[in-house]
Amino acid sequence: MATTISRTAAKPRTAPQSQYLRHTKLPTLMFRTAADADRHVALVVASLVRENNSAGVATVLGLPTGSTPIGVYRELIRQHKEEDLDFSQVITFNLDEYFPMTPDSIHSYNRWMRANFFDHVNVPEENIHIPRGDIAPEDVDAFCDEYERLIEKAGGVQLQLLGIGRTGHIGFNEPGSSRNSLTRMVTLDPQTRRDASSSFFGEENVPTHAVTMGVGTILAAKKIIIMALGEHKAPVVRKAVEGEVTDEVTASFLQKHPHATFVVDEAAASHLTAVKTPWLVGRVDWTPVAEKKAVFWLCRELQKPILKLSGHDFRENHLHDLLAQNGPVEAIRQRVFNGLLNGICTQPAGPDRKTVIVFSPHPDDDVISMGGTLITLADQGHDVHIAYQTSGNIAVFDHDADRHIDFMSELEEYLGTATDKSRAIYAKMKQDLASKKPGACDSAEIQFIKGLIRKTEATLAALIAGVKADKLHFLNLPFYQTGKVEKAPITQADVDIIANLLRSLNPAQIYVAGDLSDPHGTHRMCAKAILQALAVVEPEGFQPEVWLYRGAWQEYEPHEIERAIPLSPEVVDRKKQAIFRHESQKDAPLFPGADKREFWLRAEERTKNTSAVYNSFGLPEFFALEAFVRYRGQL
C-alpha cells in the first residue's frame, strides 16, 4: 500500500487561489497548498455527480489510491455527510491492485479504498470495481478482459482521477508501457517498489507484480485529472508536463488527451519553468523573494558571486525587466548581498537567556536537522527544551526489539527478579515477533519497546547536544499511535498536548520542522499540530518567535533561507556524535526515503553544501551552515 499523508478534509470557504502555468504541454493548474488542490478536485467530482444525479444518469469514475488522493476522498466524504452529496448512482473503477494480494490485507488497495472512501459514502457495493489480486495467475488475463468489458458496459469512464509515481507511472503503467496498453498484469519498477517499501516494512515485502488499467484504458476516459502534491514529485511533474511524450514517462501520454489537466500544489510545481525560472517565460512580479531567486540563479548560471554580476549579465540573461523594475544594478547587488550577510547569525536566540523549545517530529530530527544550532543554543546558556512529538516506534527493526527483550529477561534472571509472570511476558513478546507476518503491525508491547529504544537513544543524543533529560518532553501525540505507517488525522487531543507545553514553558523561541516532504507526511502533520496549538495559545499571550527547519530529506532553497547559523568543526563533530546515538537508525534505517546515505552523512553534506553555496555567492568560507526560515502564518 502506498504511503498515506494525512490531510484533514478542507473546510468550505471561498474558492482557493489557483493559476494555469505557462510553458506547459499539458494544462497545469497550480494551487498554493495541497488542501486547496484537494478541495478543487473534490469540487469537480462533486459537481459531475450532482449534475448526473439531477439528470438521472449514472456517473462513472476512475479512482486511484495512494497518498495523493486522500484529501480529495476526505472532502467528498465531508460533502456526503454534511451536504447530501449522493453517490447512489456512482459506478467506480479502481486503477490497480498489487498481485498477489488478498483484499483484506493491510496492503491491499481494495482495503484502502474501503477504509478511506467506500465505507463512508453510499456507492452501492455492486457498482464498485477493483482489480483483483487474489485470483490464480492463469485467470488474470480473463479477469482483465472482463474489466475492460465492464468499463465499456458502464459507458466508459467519465472522470478519471490519477496520481503519478516517481517513475512517471499512471496506474501501475511503468516505463515501457505502450500508449495502447489495456488492463493487464505488470511487473513493478524497482523505484516503485522502493517507494512502497516503507509501507510494507521493507522492499523485500513489496509484491513484484500488480494488475493495472492500461494507458489506453486510462486515455479512453472522457476527462482526466492527474494530481501531484509535494516536492518529492517535482522532478517527475516536470518530465510529464514539459518533456517529450514518451513511454519512459507514461504520464506524458496525457499531453495528447483533449481533456486532461494536471493539478499541482506549489511544491510539486517547483521544478516547472514557470515556477523555477519564471523570467524565462514571461513577466514577473519582482518581489524581494523573486529578486533573490533570480540573482542566485544568475550567480549559478554564470558561476559568479553576487558582487561581480554586471548590468550586462542581467540584460543578457533574461533579467532586463528586473533591472528596469528594481534597478539600478548596484542597488540590486547590495540588497541581495546584504540580505544574505545579515541572515548569518551566531546567537540564534540573542544575547540574553531565553527559553527555547525545539520540536522534533521523530526522536532524531532535532540532532539530524538542527543539531548544530541546538548545541549552540545550549552552549550559549539558554533554557533549551526538546519536545519529541512521536515515539518513532515504527522505524525500529524487529531484531532490535528482540535483542532488548533478551537483554531485559537475562538481566532479570541475573538480578533474581524474574518471575513466572515476567518470563511468560518475555516469551510472549518473543513469540509475537517470531510469528509476525512481513509488514504486519506490532503488538502493543512491542510498539512500546520500540518506542522506548528510541526514547533512550534520544536522551543520550540530547545529552551530547548539551540538553539534560529533565528538559526533554516525549509527547507521544495520539495521531501517530496507529502502529502502522498510515496515521490518524490530527485531533484536538494532539493540539491540546502541545498547547499545554507552550503554556507551561512559555518559550521565547520555538523551532518547528516545517518540511513537507518527509516520506510519510509525519513532519507535515506534526507541524500542523504545532501551528494549531499556537493559534490557540497566542490570544492568551503566548507568542514565541517561530523558526522552521527542514527535516533530513532536503534543505531550503537559498532564496528561502532567512537565517543561517554557522557551525564550527567541533560543533559539527558533536552533532555527528549525537546522531550516532540513534543506533536503531544507523547503517541502513528502516525508512531511509529515496536517499541511501546515512543520516549523519546527509546532515554533514547538507550543511557543508549550504556553506559552499553561500561561498559561491561571495560570502566567506564557513565550515558549515544550518538554515532556517521564519514562520509567517503559512508553511
Return d(Cα 19, Cα 157) in angstroms, integer: 27
3-state secondary structure at position 612: helix
Interface with ligand F6R, residue 71, by CB under 6 A? no
Q: Please, which residue, 117 or 172, has the CB nearer to ligand F6R? A: 172
Q: Which of 97, 174, 291, 626 is catalytic?
A: 174
Q: Which of 131, 163, 521, 558 binds ligand F6R (CB under 6 A)?
A: 163
Binning the chain into helix, strand and coil, the percentages to the nearest 5 are: 45, 15, 40
Number of chain positions touching ligand F6R (CB under 6 A) = 17
Q: Which is closer to ligand F6R, CB of 162 or CB of 502?
A: 162
Determine if 265 is a binding residue for ligand F6R (CB under 6 A). Answer: no
Contact call for residue 521 and ligand F6R (CB under 6 A): no
DSSP H helical ranges for 303-391: 311-316, 320-326, 329-342, 365-379
Q: Rounded CA gap, 462 and 451, in Å?
A: 16
When asked if residue 66 is in the footprint of ligand F6R (CB under 6 A), the reply is yes
519 binds ligand F6R (CB under 6 A): no
CB of 199 to ligand F6R, least distance (A): 9
The residue from 45, 95, 144, 263 that contacts ligand F6R (CB under 6 A) is 95
Task: Determine contact, residues 410/497, Cβ cutoff 8 Å.
Answer: no
Q: What are phi and psi of 622, to 5 degrees?
A: -80, 155
Site membership for ligand F6R, residue 165 (CB under 6 A)? yes
Q: Which of 162, 161, 189, 166 is nearest to 236 (CA)?
A: 166
Contact 166, 195 (CB under 8 A): yes
User: What angle in degrees, to the nearest 10, is found between the helix axes of 599-616 and 365-379?
Assistant: 60
Q: Which of 40, 78, 80, 169 binds ligand F6R (CB under 6 A)?
A: 169
Stretch that binds ligand F6R, among 167-175, 453-461, 511-519, 622-630 (CB under 6 A): 167-175
DSSP 26: S
Question: Which helix (H) or strand (E) element contains residue 186?
Answer: strand 184-187
Q: How far apart are CA 546 and CA 628, in angstroms?
A: 10
Report the residue number, 67 or 89, with the smaller CB distance to ligand F6R. Answer: 67
* CA 96 – CA 213 distance, rounded (Å): 6
d(CA 64, CA 73): 10
Q: Using the rule CB under 6 A, is 62 a contact of ligand F6R? A: no
**Distance from chain centroid for Cα 450:** 23
> Which stretch, 59-67, 442-450, 521-529, 531-539, contacts ligand F6R (CB under 6 A)?
59-67
Element (H, E) at 226: strand 223-228
List the one residue from 6, 24, 59, 68 that touches ligand F6R (CB under 6 A).
68
User: Is 171 among the residues that bind ligand F6R (CB under 6 A)?
Assistant: yes
Q: Does position 168 bind ligand F6R by CB under 6 A? A: no
Distance in Å, CB of 189 to ligand F6R, minimum: 10
Residue type, 587: D
What is the footprint of ligand F6R within residues 108-127 (CB under 6 A)?
A: 109
Residue nearest to ligand F6R (CB): 163
Give the nearer residue to ligand F6R in terms of CB position, either 233 or 606: 233
User: What are the cell numbers at 31?
Assistant: 494551487
Annotation says 174 is catalytic: yes
Give 439 or 558: the residue with its C-beta nearer to ligand F6R. 439
- The only residue of 65, 127, 198, 611 in contact with ligand F6R, by rule CB under 6 A: 65
Segment near ligand F6R (CB under 6 A), from 37-45, 66-74, 269-277, 444-452?
66-74
Phi, psi values for residue 363, rounded to 5°:
-70, 0
For the chain, the distance separating the N- and C-terminal CA atoms, rounded to the nearest angstrom, is 28
Per-position x/- string for 2-31, each x denoting binding to ligand F6R as judged by CB under 6 A, each - no binding:
xx----------------------------
Closer residue to ligand F6R (CB): 158 or 177: 177
Give me the least distance between CB of 176 and ligand F6R, in Å please. 15
Closest CA to 163 of 247, 239, 65: 65
Bond prior to 12 in cis (omega within 30° of 0)? no
Interacting residues with ligand F6R (CB under 6 A): 2-3, 64-68, 95-96, 109, 163-165, 169-172
